[in-house]
Amino acid sequence: MRVLLDESVPRQLAPELRGYDVQTVVQAGWTGVQNGELLRRGAAAGFEVLVTMDRNLEHQQNIVRSGLGVLVVVARDNRVETLLQLAESIRTGLSQVRPGMVLHVGA
């Protein structure tokens, strides 16, 4: 499964998502791209899931039409140390999320 990490998610989380083909928005060259365009680009590039900490994304965009699954990480902050503690929950969420679906994991 191809996974795209949003800019709000520290890149250091990527190695913790073993078994998934993970790329960051920065690596894809999409820094600063707005959410709607990011979903379009991600789907066109073959990503299946966007991992984000943006809790408003699902209310601002039509996720069903995007063709991507969205995994929203709910945490007190986006520090690497905080998110590494949630790595197992994130991996579990990745195994459950499907295209057009929004799934929340974390605290």
- Complete domains list, the chain, with CATH: 2-106 (3.40.50)
Is the pLDDT at 104 greater than 80? The verdict is yes
Please report how many Cα atoms fall inside a 13 Å half-sphere around the Cα of residue 39, on the Cβ side: 22
Q: Taking all residues of the chain, what is their mean pLDDT, rounded to a whole number?
A: 94
CA torsion 44-49-54-55 (nearest 10°) is 120
Mean pLDDT across 37-64: 94
* E strand or H helix at 71: strand 69-74
Q: What was the pLDDT predicted at 37?
A: 95
Which residue in 67, 68, 73, 64 sits closest to 92, CA to CA? Answer: 73
Reported pTM: 0.95
Is the pLDDT at 96 greater than 90? The verdict is yes
Mean pLDDT across 42-61: 94
